[in-house]
């Protein structure tokens, strides 16, 4: 029994604030701190399917009731048309996310705790009930728990109604198996010290109010196969587990995490309490080790845990989930996020696995834009390949692992040469050395939303940040080839990635070709993109420069290979500070601009239209910070431009001020993590996914830099 009423300052007042647990495979558990599901993505168990981004609802929740000599208490709460039923909020005293989601109920003269957790590497969810004595309650007085699971078998983006699923229900003494689940062979529910009563019924018309606000289907039915009845006493836990089993009735994991054991379904049913408590302690220990990597910085320790939730391992290899609840694996997001999630946290082995996962899927020089749920790779991106190269350079700098970088040089060459000669999506280097991509019907940059099938933020032509990344990629490739030449490497390099492993020839003696090309393109970039008084133009199209004030110039400004004059860097910083900065991120368009939309809300059309037309993004604090560091390093004399830090203490002070809102982790939409976007206008409501990889990653990267430079007393590198 965990300490329920002891010294613990992590308790929160129950509310509609959300929590998230993940299983390290793509599955997750999530709801609100008051227990009411407000999204179609809320449920105690979503299982990953063929790949980490393909998820299926298995267990929505447990309708739990506690009875004793002094009364009856329904603990669950749901929204139905015109009512809340049951109304368990009346008995809910407190909620805590540490170390796992915990709900504390007052049940007459006793205190009942419900704890929900997942174990990394194992599909399934555990729920542990514990009873604590209170005044006037006899030491061994028992109470009765009735636990009725509400189950489902639907894709996580959808909602379903009665009759959508008709599983074969197999009852055991303390377990029930539902055969024919969409994600796995069968779904099992096991309860210690409980007996199962088969009594199938549908619970109809559960309402998800946030889906209604988002203009989507918001009503759903769930199947309950029956209920468990068990006795609970002070000091004795009742454990319920829900998860997949194979056709042979074995728990769907070959070895239990941390134990190396193979466990049959019968053994699992008989020893569930012991297994649950052992696995709980192993998971607590794993998370503590992750936090310990932050070196005593409590805020970074929380962010390290948030980062861990995005790292998944599946048959295809290690990967990064872009955001919860509804994003899967995205190439661009992965390599923007990788430095903060895996390099600052020193998880180099997993970083290498991520590089290999995507390198093996490169086609025509294109790194996958995303892996479509259950359907394979899609390649509609110009910058995913460039972020791949950028992240590899950062990996080499932090890890010093040249041998691994050398393995990927053939793939870098494949990207560069295909971009020079031309590849899919209209991507081809112009005679100027700059990179052109797309047409008016495509969306190839990170500003990729479509409204009514049309790009909401057209950026075909020569986007500013794409060309900055392209010039950096050319320079890096030239330097890597030069390094090989200096080391005396000639001939062919072996590669075992992709569908056709073998040897690839690289002309390393031609490294100057790429270095010169980078210098040529950088010169043209400075000539064409600098916008006097505003920083940089956002893009160049067939009509010429596009004078839109957007944050993409921040990314370009942070790239040293452009050799931008200090005045241009100052103007980028000042423009962003004055026109785009908001409490929750950097706006994607200046408020006075044509097409600006300051509120991220409404149905899909409204939200997609606003996504990059004024909506603010926390991840862009990262490039803003990088630019600040560049300004501090290029000219330590303060020139009077508003907001630019004068020295390292000034950089620390202004950074903490700018991040003060998003780093209130326990007050964010989802406890302990950082959301995807926020409205650009007051009151700057958070929106989008409740936990976004690059939002967390950039916060880690910034705070780690400040931590390191504070220790060294230097501005940093």
What distance in Å separates the CA atoms of residue 490 and residue 479, rounded to the nearest whole number?
A: 15
Decide if pLDDT at 389 tops 80. yes
pLDDT band at 515 (very low <50, low <70, confident <90, very high): very high
What pLDDT does 716 receive? Answer: 39
465: nearest Cα among 342, 603, 354, 336: 336
78-82, 311-315, 355-359: which has the minimum mean pLDDT?
Answer: 311-315
Pure H helices in 437-489: 464-486
- Reported as half-sphere exposure (CB side, CA atoms, 13 A), residue 644 has a value of 25
Q: In angstroms, what CA-CA distances link 358 with 24, 196, 354, 503, 519? A: 18, 46, 7, 19, 29
What distance in Å separates the CA atoms of residue 713 and residue 414, rounded to the nearest whole number?
A: 41
Q: In angstroms, what CA-CA distances link 640 with 17, 510, 579, 645, 653? A: 42, 45, 18, 10, 17
pLDDT band at 490 (very low <50, low <70, confident <90, very high): low
Partners of 220 in the β-ladder: 206
What pLDDT does 709 receive? Answer: 67
What pLDDT does 202 receive? Answer: 97
Q: Note whether 593 and 580 are within 8 A (CB).
A: no
**Which run of H or E residues covers position 710?**
helix 693-712
Q: CATH class for domain 293-712? A: mainly alpha
Decide if pLDDT at 711 tops 80. no
27's CB contacts (< 8 A; 6+ apart) are 45, 46, 47, 48, 55, 118, 123
Decide if pLDDT at 72 tops 50. yes
Partners of 495 in the β-ladder: 502
**Which run of H or E residues covers position 229?**
strand 219-232
Please give the DSSP secondary-structure letter assigned to residue 339: I
pLDDT digits (tens, 9 = 90+) for 220-257: 999 999 999 999 999 899 999 999 987 655 554 445 67
pLDDT band at 184 (very low <50, low <70, confident <90, very high): confident
Surface-to-core class of residue 34, CB atoms within 10 Å of its CB (0-12 exposed, 13-18 middle, 19+ buried): middle
pLDDT band at 316 (very low <50, low <70, confident <90, very high): confident
What distance in Å separates the CA atoms of residue 206 and residue 203, rounded to the nearest whole number?
A: 8
pLDDT band at 263 (very low <50, low <70, confident <90, very high): confident
Sign for the CA dihedral angle at 502, 507, 512, 514 comes to negative
What distance in Å separates the CA atoms of residue 402 and residue 571, rounded to the nearest whole number?
A: 37
- Reported as half-sphere exposure (CB side, CA atoms, 13 A), residue 429 has a value of 22
pLDDT band at 136 (very low <50, low <70, confident <90, very high): low
Q: Note whether 47 and 28 are within 8 A (CB).
A: no
92-96, 312-316, 555-559: which has the minimum mean pLDDT?
Answer: 312-316
What distance in Å separates the CA atoms of residue 217 and residue 120, rounded to the nearest whole number?
A: 32
**Which run of H or E residues covers position 132?**
strand 122-133
pLDDT digits (tens, 9 = 90+) for 28-63: 999 999 999 999 999 999 999 988 999 999 999 999
Q: Inter-axis angle of helices 384-399 and 348-359, to 10 degrees?
A: 150
pLDDT band at 672 (very low <50, low <70, confident <90, very high): very high
In this prediction, residues 385-389 reach a mean pLDDT of 98
Q: Note whether 570 and 600 are within 8 A (CB).
A: no
> In terms of pLDDT, which residue wins out, 124 or 453?
124
- Reported as half-sphere exposure (CB side, CA atoms, 13 A), residue 242 has a value of 28
In this prediction, residues 454-480 reach a mean pLDDT of 97
What pLDDT does 248 receive? Answer: 57
Separate counts of helices (H) and strands (E) for the chain: 16, 40
pLDDT band at 7 (very low <50, low <70, confident <90, very high): low
What distance in Å separates the CA atoms of residue 74 and residue 146, rounded to the nearest whole number?
A: 9
Decide if pLDDT at 637 tops 50. no
Please give the DSSP secondary-structure letter assigned to residue 580: I
Q: Note whether 237 and 132 are within 8 A (CB).
A: no
516's CB contacts (< 8 A; 6+ apart) are 478
Q: Note whether 697 and 337 are within 8 A (CB).
A: yes
Q: What is the mean pLDDT of the chain?
A: 91
pLDDT band at 139 (very low <50, low <70, confident <90, very high): low
End-to-end CA distance of the chain: 48
What pLDDT does 186 receive? Answer: 92
- What percentage of the chain carries pLDDT values higher than 90? 80
Partners of 250 in the β-ladder: 264
What pLDDT does 238 receive? Answer: 97
In this prediction, residues 365-387 reach a mean pLDDT of 94
538: nearest Cα among 557, 520, 563, 519: 557
In this prediction, residues 346-359 reach a mean pLDDT of 97
- Reported as half-sphere exposure (CB side, CA atoms, 13 A), residue 93 has a value of 13
- Give the dihedral of Cα atoms 357, 358, 364, 370; nearest 10 deg: 120
What pLDDT does 375 receive? Answer: 83
What distance in Å separates the CA atoms of residue 505 and residue 17, rounded to the nearest whole number?
A: 55
- Reported as half-sphere exposure (CB side, CA atoms, 13 A), residue 351 has a value of 27
What pLDDT does 374 receive? Answer: 75
Please give the DSSP secondary-structure letter assigned to residue 264: B
pLDDT band at 493 (very low <50, low <70, confident <90, very high): low
214: nearest Cα among 83, 60, 81, 40: 40
CATH code for residues 18-289: 2.70.98
What pLDDT does 261 receive? Answer: 72
Decide if pLDDT at 505 tops 60. no
Q: Note whether 702 and 619 are within 8 A (CB).
A: no
pLDDT digits (tens, 9 = 90+) for 391-410: 999 999 999 999 999 999 99
What pLDDT does 368 receive? Answer: 97
Sign for the CA dihedral angle at 42, 43, 44, 48 comes to negative
Q: Where are the domains of the chain?
A: 18-289, 293-712
Sign for the CA dihedral angle at 86, 91, 96, 102 comes to negative
What pLDDT does 715 receive? Answer: 44
What distance in Å separates the CA atoms of residue 45 and residue 119, rounded to the nearest whole number?
A: 12
Chain CA centroid to CA 267, Å: 35
In this prediction, residues 15-26 reach a mean pLDDT of 96
Q: Note whether 44 and 36 are within 8 A (CB).
A: no
In this prediction, residues 423-439 reach a mean pLDDT of 97
β 323-324/370-372 pair status: unpaired
Q: Note whether 325 and 216 are within 8 A (CB).
A: no
List, as own/partner pairs, every contact residues 630-639 make where C-beta atoms lie below 8 angstroms and the sequence separation is at least 24, other chains included.
630/557, 630/558, 630/560, 630/569, 631/566, 631/569, 631/570, 631/573, 632/715, 633/715, 634/566, 634/569, 635/566, 639/570
């Amino acid at each position: 029994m965990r300490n329920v009423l002891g010294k613990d300052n992590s308790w929160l007042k129950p509310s509609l604030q959300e929590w998230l647990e993940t299983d390290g495979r793509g599955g997750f558990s999530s709801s609100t701190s008051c227990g009411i599901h407000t999204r179609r993505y809320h449920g105690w168990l979503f299982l990953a399917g063929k790949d980490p981004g393909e998820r299926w609802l298995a267990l929505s929740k447990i309708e739990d009731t506690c009875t004793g000599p002094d009364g009856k208490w329904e603990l669950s709460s749901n929204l139905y048309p015109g009512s809340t039923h049951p109304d368990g909020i009346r008995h809910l005293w407190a909620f805590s996310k540490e170390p796992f989601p915990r709900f504390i109920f007052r049940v007459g003269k006793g205190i009942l705790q419900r704890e929900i957790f997942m174990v990394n590497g194992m599909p399934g969810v555990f729920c542990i009930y514990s009873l604590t004595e209170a005044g006037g309650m006899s030491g061994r007085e028992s109470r009765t728990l009735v636990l009725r699971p509400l189950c489902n078998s639907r894709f996580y983006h959808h909602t379903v109604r009665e009759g959508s699923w008709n599983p074969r229900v197999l009852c055991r003494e303390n377990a029930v198996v539902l055969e024919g689940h969409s994600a796995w062979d069968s779904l099992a529910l096991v309860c210690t010290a409980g007996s199962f009563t088969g009594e199938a019924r549908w619970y109809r018309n559960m309402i998800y109010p946030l889906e209604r606000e988002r203009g989507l289907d918001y009503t759903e039915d769930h199947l309950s196969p029956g209920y468990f009845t068990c006795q609970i006493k002070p000091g004795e836990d009742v454990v319920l587990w829900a998860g997949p089993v194979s056709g042979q009735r074995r728990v769907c994991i070959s070895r239990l995490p941390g134990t190396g054991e193979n466990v049959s379904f019968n053994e699992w049913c008989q020893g569930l309490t012991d297994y649950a408590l052992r696995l709980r302690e192993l998971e607590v220990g794993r998370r503590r080790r992750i936090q310990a990597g932050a070196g005593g910085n409590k805020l970074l320790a929380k962010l390290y845990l948030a980062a861990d939730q995005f790292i998944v391992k599946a048959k295809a290899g290690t990967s990064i989930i872009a955001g919860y609840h509804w994003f899967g694996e995205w190439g661009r997001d992965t390599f923007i996020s990788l430095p903060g999630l895996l390099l600052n946290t020193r998880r180099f082995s997993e970083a290498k696995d991520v590089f290999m996962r995507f390198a093996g899927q490169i086609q025509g020089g294109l790194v996958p834009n995303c892996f479509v749920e259950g359907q394979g790779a899609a390649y509609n991106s110009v910058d995913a390949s460039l972020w791949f190269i950028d992240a590899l350079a950062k990996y080499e700098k932090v890890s010093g692992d040249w041998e691994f970088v050398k393995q990927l040089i053939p793939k870098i060459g494949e990207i560069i040469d295909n971009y020079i000669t031309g590849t899919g999506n209209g991507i081809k280097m112009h005679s100027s050395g700059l990179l052109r991509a797309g047409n008016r019907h495509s969306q190839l940059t990170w500003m990729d939303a479509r409204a009514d099938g049309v790009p909401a933020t057209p950026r075909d032509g020569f986007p500013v940040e794409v060309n900055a990344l392209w010039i950096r990629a050319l320079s890096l490739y030239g330097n890597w080839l030069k390094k090989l030449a200096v080391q005396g490497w000639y001939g062919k390099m072996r590669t075992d990635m992709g569908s056709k492993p073998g040897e690839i020839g690289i002309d390393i003696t031609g490294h100057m070709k790429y270095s010169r090309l980078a210098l040529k393109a950088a010169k043209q970039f400075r000539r064409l993109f600098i916008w006097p008084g505003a920083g940089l133009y956002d893009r160049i199209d067939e009509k010429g420069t596009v004078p839109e004030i957007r944050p993409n110039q921040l990314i370009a400004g942070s790239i040293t290979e452009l050799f931008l004059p200090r005045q241009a860097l100052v103007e980028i910083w000042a423009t962003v500070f004055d026109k785009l900065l908001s409490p929750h991120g950097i706006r994607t368009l200046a408020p006075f601009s044509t097409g600006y939309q300051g509120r991220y809300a409404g149905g899909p059309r409204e939200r997609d239209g606003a996504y990059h037309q004024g909506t603010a993004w926390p991840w862009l604090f990262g490039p803003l910070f990088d630019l600040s560091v560049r300004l501090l390093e290029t000219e330590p004399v303060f020139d009077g431009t508003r907001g630019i830090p004068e020295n390292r203490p000034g950089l620390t002070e202004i950074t903490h001020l700018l991040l003060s809102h998003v780093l209130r982790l326990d007050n964010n939409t989802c406890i302990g993590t950082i959301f995807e976007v926020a409205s650009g206008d007051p009151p700057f409501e958070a929106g989008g996914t409740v936990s976004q990889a690059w939002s967390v990653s950039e916060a880690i990267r910034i705070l780690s830099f400040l931590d390191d430079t504070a220790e060294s007393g230097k501005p940093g590198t």
